[in-house]
Amino acid sequence: MNARVMISGGGAAGLCAACALAKRGFEPLVLEGQARVGKKLLATGNGRCNLTNMGAEETRYHGDTKAISVVFQRYPPQKVRAFFRSLGLETVEETEGRVYPMSRQAASVLDALRLTIPAYGGTIQTEAPVATLRRNERGRFEAQDESGAIYTARRVLVATGGLAAPKLGGNGSGVRLFQALGHTSSASFSTIVPLKTDSTLVRALKGQRVHCTIAMEANQRTLREENGEVLFGDGSLSGIAAMQLARNAQEVLRKGGQPVAILRLVNGSTKEWIDELKRRKDRCPFYPMEDFLSGICPKRVGMEIVKAAKIALAKRADALTQDEIARLAEHLCAWRFPITGVQGFEHAQATSGGVRLNEFDWNTMQSKYVNGLFAAGEVLNVDGDCGGYNLQWAWASALTAADGIAQSLQKER
């Protein structure tokens, strides 16, 4: 099959670029390895699709971040929202700058993309994972999928994503395609992913949620702090607030250090809570310790704090000693969980690492090594925090690449 533009990857970036190119009359061909396009997109934002963040800026990203200011100058969140409005998708801004489709359904975002492409002459080919990509003797790009089918095009955009969520298509194939064409990449690891800890510390809390401040500490230094929900698993700390700290934990572990997650379940100092717990003891002297912290935190969480403070659950509040009250206050203010690692790509929301961005023109997303070869999205060495930042990068880099492809074809014409 021949096309003017071929796009490897039917995820957020690939579909976005295909829409932009199709509306300009370039009839792009999208090759997707899965049976359906946009499977990972449907899972974003708990099915609501947090598609951008109005506060997107370089400080919320990691990797080759210098490209962010250039790409976002062309396509800031306002222009991304305008692009989706041109596809018939209305958006709304919620707390912390998060932007969602007005329907609050990720399917609405995917429908706007996948219906636009064929409407303007583009083609979507599913179950066609690109295995190899090369320039043939006529200077055209030639891709072969795993079934042996061959596709040719004058321009190619690789937007295959990263390694995160392999069940939804994450496989790192794009990095291999670029490496075969002379590009280099940085090591990839999972990010925005649950933290691993000693299972004996959290097993009894599996399924419990707390709203708190969680900090990552190493060598008595706080590396990062987040506010939000933490979900206890069997040997893990999950929830967005905890998952945001995975990058910091991995950096410490790679250097041979010991990261510690610290949960602050209450506001105020340890001294203030010692005084408060003394008053609580006087008010409720008849409480058994298994109920003593109920009302401050969920009962099961309170019971585990009592056990962590080495106090018997059957003990009555009026029998608490000064040292025991101090230990309870310390755990409420700074409950410590040594981190042993992070979970793998199957549990990750994003991939850190990828093809190096200094090998591309950030104004067009075209390769500096291979004319006519473009990149966008998570295949590149950029990843953002949770909150719509990764999709903002996907859309903005894809629209920049679409502009670059269109300009290069127009010059050729």
List pLDDT tens digits, range 345-389. Answer: 999 999 999 999 999 999 999 999 999 999 999 999 999 999 999
SS3 280: helix
Residue 166 has a pLDDT of 87
- In this structure, the answer to whether residues 386 and 337 fall within a common structural domain is no
List pLDDT tens digits, range 300-345. Answer: 999 999 999 999 999 999 999 999 999 999 999 999 999 999 999 9
Residue 413 has a pLDDT of 64
Alpha carbon distance 365, 380 (integer Å): 10
Alpha carbon distance 319, 39 (integer Å): 57
Residues in contact with 43: Cβ distance below 8 Å, sequence separation at least 6, in sequence order: 106, 165, 168
Could you identify the residue written with the tokens 């496989």? 171
- In this structure, the answer to whether residues 144 and 210 fall within a common structural domain is no
344 Rama sector, left if φ>0, alpha if ψ -120 to 50, beta otherwise = beta
Give the pLDDT band (50/70/90) at residue 264.
very high
- In this structure, the answer to whether residues 336 and 260 fall within a common structural domain is yes
Alpha carbon distance 249, 246 (integer Å): 5
Neighbours of 388 (CB within 10 A): 28
Report helix, strand and coil shares of the chain as percent, to nearest 5.
40, 30, 30
- In this structure, the answer to whether residues 16 and 148 fall within a common structural domain is yes
Report in angstroms the alpha-carbon separations of 186 from 175, 176, 205, 252, 381: 10, 12, 37, 18, 7
**DSSP, residue by residue, 171-217:** --HHHHHHHHTT--EEEEEEES-PEEE-HHHHGGGTT-EEEEEEEEE
Percentage of the chain surpassing pLDDT 90?
Answer: 93
- In this structure, the answer to whether residues 355 and 326 fall within a common structural domain is no
Domain count, the chain: 2
Beta bridge partners of 210: 230
Asked if 191 contacts 224 with a C-beta cutoff of 8 angstroms, the reply is: no
pTM above 0.75, yes or no: yes
- In this structure, the answer to whether residues 124 and 26 fall within a common structural domain is yes
The yes-or-no verdict on residue 181 having pLDDT over 70 is: yes
Asked if 157 contacts 370 with a C-beta cutoff of 8 angstroms, the reply is: no
Q: Which of 119-123, 134-138, 158-162, 285-289 has the lowest mean pLDDT?
A: 134-138
Of the candidates 343, 370, 386, which is a domain's last residue?
343
Of the candidates 343, 367, 395, which is a domain's last residue?
343
Of the candidates 343, 362, 385, which is a domain's last residue?
343
Average pLDDT over residues 154-166: 94
Strand order in the sheet with 98-101: 52-53, 98-101, 91-93
Q: Which amino acid makes up residue 60?
A: R
- In this structure, the answer to whether residues 403 and 390 fall within a common structural domain is yes
Give the pLDDT band (50/70/90) at residue 123.
very high
> How close are the terminal C-alpha atoms of the chain, in Å?
21
- In this structure, the answer to whether residues 94 and 168 fall within a common structural domain is yes
Residue 45 has a pLDDT of 84
Average pLDDT over residues 2-17: 96
- In this structure, the answer to whether residues 127 and 21 fall within a common structural domain is yes
Percentage of the chain surpassing pLDDT 70?
Answer: 100
34 Rama sector, left if φ>0, alpha if ψ -120 to 50, beta otherwise = beta
Alpha carbon distance 12, 169 (integer Å): 12
- In this structure, the answer to whether residues 171 and 201 fall within a common structural domain is no
- In this structure, the answer to whether residues 26 and 85 fall within a common structural domain is yes
List pLDDT tens digits, range 56-109. Answer: 999 999 999 999 999 999 999 999 999 999 999 999 999 999 999 999 999 999
Residues in contact with 271: Cβ distance below 8 Å, sequence separation at least 6, in sequence order: 329
List pLDDT tens digits, range 129-154. Answer: 999 999 988 889 999 999 999 999 99
Task: Record the tokens describing residue 311, joined without a space.
Answer: 């106090």
Average pLDDT over residues 15-23: 98
Crossing angle for the helix pair 12-23 and 106-119, to the nearest 10 degrees: 40
Residue 374 has a pLDDT of 98
Kindly state the DSSP code that residue 294 receives in the 8-state scheme: B
Domain range spanning residue 313?
194-343
Residue 176, domain CATH: 3.50.50.60
Neighbours of 164 (CB within 10 A): 27
- In this structure, the answer to whether residues 71 and 126 fall within a common structural domain is yes
Residue 46 has a pLDDT of 84
The yes-or-no verdict on residue 121 having pLDDT over 70 is: yes
Give the pLDDT band (50/70/90) at residue 6.
very high
